[in-house]
Amino acid sequence: MHRKNDETPRNGNLLIVGTTASGKSSLAIELARRRPNVEIISIDSMAIYKGMNIGTATPTILEQEEIPHHLINIVEPSEEFALPLFQSAVEKALREIAGRGNRAVLVGGTGLHVRAVVDRLEVPPRFLGIKDEIELISETSFLYRKLKDLDPSAASKIEPGNRRRIVRALEVTLGTGRPFSSFGPGLDVYPPSPFTQIGIRFSRDLNDLRIAERYKMQIEDGFVEEVRDLVSDGRELSKTASQALGYKQLISYIEGENTLEEAIESAISSTRRFARRQEKWFRRDPRIEWLNLEKDPLEVLEKVIKVFDEIGVNTLNEVVKTPDYL
């Protein structure tokens, strides 16, 4: 892994990114089998929920027993798990892994969570009461002018018609008393980072096919039953968990709003669109080295192992010595 004009020391950990169904997890697990003292950290906003294993393609119990995994099945699906909590959990896992003299392979498909970890994003807090008041104003152009008055730097980076981003910037600015732009350079800036990042990708057509095949396998493995268990006895999922791909559609089926075939087709279509957004998100990051796949993610295993070996264990001593390892 080579990054031009970047002298930032490597932290010895490897991050593998890619779209849904690209085979990130299987690649990471095989790498861990080939190299001792490797632990895997999931960077997935849905795999954190207990009982949501089939639909999130969580590694099997046997795989988790074979190789230590982190940030899987850590909160109830009725709970929200905000991004700052996720950041803290990853940082804790990284410190503990380094303290054991091991190295981490992080596996990510949730773009914002990946960036939050890689760049230690300072995530602005939420002020839902203020947001509700802002939303009462229907004229987006008025809100944009207000943002220009309060935070011209933030306004210059937001399209005047992008109401969602304008409202969020105003919410933070009014709620914290400091400009939204003061929380960092933004997601369109890619500063030096100690993480080495690899991206894997199939052609779009092949990835579409893999998504459909994975849903077929998940249904056969009991995906519908898993969702029934989650919502049985009137239990409610958190807003985040209830929007998970596949779960949202199967909940509609269970509630009698569509047929199973319609739910699956809707899930496949939604997941394919999501994969395109993932691809676009990750492609913007120039720090990711991409490896193209033809049939199987393990095609690039030797290349990934070579990168992993190159970043080496020599950095571990510095990681252990320095609490602020990121």
Divide the 326 residues of the chain into consecutive groups of 10 and give the mean pLDDT of each group: 52 96 97 96 97 96 97 96 94 96 95 94 90 96 97 92 94 96 84 95 97 98 97 88 96 96 98 96 96 96 96 54 42
Q: Is 71 left (phi over 0), alpha (psi -120 to 50) or beta?
A: left
In contact, 201 and 22? CB cutoff 8 Å: yes
Q: Which residue's entry shows tokens 């199967």?
A: 250
Q: Which residue's entry shows tokens 């490597």?
A: 10
Domain 14-122+195-321 is of which CATH architecture? 3-Layer(aba) Sandwich (3.40)
Q: Rounded to 5 degrees, what angle do the CA atoms 138, 281, 209 make? A: 110
- The CATH class of the 128-183 domain is mainly alpha
Beta strands in the chain (DSSP E): 14-17, 38-43, 69-70, 103-108, 196-201, 288-292
Instruction: Tell whether the torsion through CA atoms of 135, 140, 146 and 148 is positive or negative.
Output: positive
Q: What are the start and end residues of each CATH 1.10.20.140 domain in the chain?
A: 128-183
What is the reported pLDDT for 185?
73
In a 3-state reduction of DSSP, which class is residue 201? Answer: strand
User: Can you name the residues that pair with 69 across neighbouring β-strands?
Assistant: 40
What is the reported pLDDT for 316?
46
Within 10 angstroms of residue 75's Cβ, the number of other Cβ atoms is 17
What is the reported pLDDT for 48?
97
DSSP string, 164-198: HHHHHHHHHHHHHSS-GGGG-S-TT-----S-EEE
Q: What are the start and end residues of each CATH 3.40.50.300 domain in the chain?
A: 14-122+195-321
pTM: 0.85
Distances (CA, A) of 290 to 190, 196, 255, 259, 300: 16, 12, 42, 39, 11
What is the reported pLDDT for 7?
58
What is the reported pLDDT for 321?
44
- The rounded distance, in Å, linking the Cα atoms of 177 and 171 is 10
Dihedral, CA atoms, 273, 274, 277, 278, nearest 10 degrees?
Answer: -140
User: Can you name the residues that pair with 40 across neighbouring β-strands?
Assistant: 69, 105
The DSSP letter of residue 255 is T
- The rounded distance, in Å, linking the Cα atoms of 2 and 5 is 9
Spell out the residues 6+ positions from residue 256 whose beta carbon is closer than 8 angstroms to its own. none
What is the reported pLDDT for 159?
92
